[in-house]
């Protein structure tokens, strides 16, 4: 469900026409719908309304401060993976006690900063990290609440680049190591091992991998408790997939996912922590771009557009499909022709879609790449010295620039000549 629909023949974000925003801000730009974001957060939170839960939105999926503040106002906590993300959460007004810290390479400086802020918990990914946290906490006279990230070695049945719960992935510690690690943690100063964490991957479109992981998680909590560990919370990570094909197969609903969590973990009497990212921000955003040229060769027809892999890298990096809709609805009635939608970046890997059946679109015609709210703007860069594109937030009939377009002065001003040059 999202709030990008045609009205009077023009694609709108809530009550605002995307062509009006394009006229004011130029293209390309990211556009987010407040109503969609909040709805997704609330449906998820409501599914667990009678349970002690902490829903920590995965900042990495879309870290714009305006988005974080809005979710925070509805009670969301945050899942962070760097000091930068913690600073974003705090700048957006998120209380530190609603923050969990994931990631395999937290530095001592980052650990110290998170302890000073007083975050809820660290998701510990290795024995070496456990020792580092213990040392930093002890030096500060603090106690770090932790959950080991346990790698269950289950197949998340998703793209290899976003699968994290197999034994060969860098994430977490093998589940077989859990008894030894929790025993070690109990003996270390400055550590309170109060939880267990698992995150098996992203864009997971079937319940079965979750069911396998949760079954193991419940068993693990039972075993750890039998050994005298006080496990107060389980963190099941994120990963629930969303529909990228408008007419394609639907991933499990939040309600079905919630029912599975309750079935497998509800009886543990633990606080439930979640780290959803894409499920909240994914279809709350689109990337609006315009056509520069049409080009037809012996082999193919290309639609050359002003957005590129540096603005949205998902198709290039994960072979991701994202729907493309013309902003002008009348074009939908036109015959469709297979086209490669490509940007100006000098790489053959620069494309937004390959062989996509689309109506012919003339130079200047606007279109929207759908489902671009998660892992879109956050993965953008200025490769080929292309400016970072703006981000716009819509709420009802209002819209605001929540990140202006980078300027050439900003781009050039960020660098220095060496003193000897």
- Where does this chain bind ligand LLP (CB under 6 A)? 58, 60-61, 79, 102, 162, 199, 202-203, 237-239, 275-279, 314, 318, 374-375
Rank residues 276 and 390 by Cβ distance to ligand LLP and give the closer one.
276
Nearest distance from C-beta of residue 378 to ligand LLP, angstroms: 8
CB of 242 to ligand LLP, least distance (A): 9
Closest CB to ligand LLP among residues 238, 326:
238
How many CB atoms sit inside 10 A of residue 165's CB? 27
79 or 365: CB nearest ligand LLP: 79
Distances (CA, A) of 65 to 37, 47, 371, 391: 14, 26, 20, 11
Q: Distance (Å, rounded) from C-alpha 137 to C-alpha 188?
A: 11
CB of 361 to ligand LLP, least distance (A): 26
Strand 173-174 vs strand 144-151: parallel, antiparallel, or unpaired? parallel
CB of 240 to ligand LLP, least distance (A): 6
Distances (CA, A) of 319 to 249, 300, 315, 350, 387: 17, 19, 5, 11, 24
Beta bridge partners of 196: 148, 234
Nearest CB to ligand LLP, comparing residues 170 and 300: 170
Instruction: Decide whether 238 or 243 has the Cβ nearer to ligand LLP.
Output: 238
Annotated active-site residue 270? The verdict is no
**Torsion angle, CA of 408/412/413/414, rounded to 10 degrees?**
110
Establish whether the linkage from the previous residue to 28 is cis, with ω within 30° of 0.
Answer: yes
Minimum CB distance to ligand LLP, residue 162 (Å)? 5
Residue 246 buriedness (CB in 10 A; 0-12 / 13-18 / 19+) = exposed
Q: Which residues contact 359 (CB under 8 A, 6 or more apart)?
A: 326, 331, 332, 334, 335, 336, 337
C-beta separation of 153 from 175 below 8 A? yes
Cβ distance to ligand LLP smaller for residue 10 or 162: 162
Task: Closer to ligand LLP by CB, 28 or 277: give it.
Answer: 277
- What does the alpha-carbon distance between residue 105 and residue 183 come to, in Å, rounded to a whole number? 23
Residues acting as catalytic residues: 346
């Amino acid at each position: 469900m999202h709030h990008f629909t045609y009205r009077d023949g023009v694609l709108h974000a809530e009550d605002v026409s995307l062509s009006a925003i394009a006229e004011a801000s130029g293209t390309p730009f990211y556009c987010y719908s407040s109503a969609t974001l909040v709805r997704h957060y609330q449906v998820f939170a409501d599914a667990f309304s009678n349970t002690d839960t902490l829903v920590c939105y995965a900042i990495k999926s879309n870290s714009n401060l305006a988005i974080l503040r809005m979710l925070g106002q509805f009670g969301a906590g945050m899942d962070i993976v760097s000091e930068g993300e913690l600073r974003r959460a705090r700048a957006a007004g998120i209380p530190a006690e609603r923050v969990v810290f994931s990631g395999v390479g937290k530095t001592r400086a980052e650990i110290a900063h998170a302890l000073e802020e007083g975050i809820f918990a660290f998701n510990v990914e290795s024995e070496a990290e456990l020792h580092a946290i213990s040392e930093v906490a002890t030096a500060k006279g603090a106690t770090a609440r932790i959950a080991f990230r346990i790698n269950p070695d289950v197949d998340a049945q998703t793209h290899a680049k976003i699968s994290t719960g197999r034994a060969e992935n860098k994430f977490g510690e093998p589940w077989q190591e859990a008894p030894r690690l929790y025993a070690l943690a109990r003996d270390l100063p400055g550590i309170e091992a109060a939880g267990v964490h698992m995150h098996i991957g992203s864009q997971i479109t079937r319940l079965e991998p979750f069911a396998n992981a949760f079954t193991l998680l419940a068993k693990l909590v039972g075993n750890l408790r039998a050994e005298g560990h006080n496990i107060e919370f389980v963190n099941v990570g994120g990963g629930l997939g969303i529909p990228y094909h408008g007419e394609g197969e639907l991933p499990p609903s939040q309600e079905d996912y919630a029912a599975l969590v309750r079935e497998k973990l509800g009886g543990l009497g633990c606080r439930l922590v979640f780290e959803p990212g894409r499920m909240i921000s994914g279809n709350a955003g689109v990337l609006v771009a315009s056509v520069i040229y049409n080009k037809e060769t012996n082999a193919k027809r290309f639609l050359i557009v002003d957005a590129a892999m540096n603005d949205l890298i998902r198709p290039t990096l994960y072979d991701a499909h994202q729907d493309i809709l013309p902003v002008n609805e009348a074009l939908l009635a036109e015959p469709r022709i297979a086209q490669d939608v490509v940007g100006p970046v000098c790489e053959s890997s620069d494309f937004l879609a390959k062989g996509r059946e689309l109506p012919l679109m003339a130079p200047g015609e606007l279109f929207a790449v759908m489902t671009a709210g998660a892992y879109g703007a956050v993965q953008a860069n200025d490769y080929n010295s292309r400016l970072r594109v703006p981000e716009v937030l819509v709420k009802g009939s209002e819209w605001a620039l929540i990140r202006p377009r980078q300027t050439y002065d900003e781009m050039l001003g960020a660098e220095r000549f060496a003193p000897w040059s």
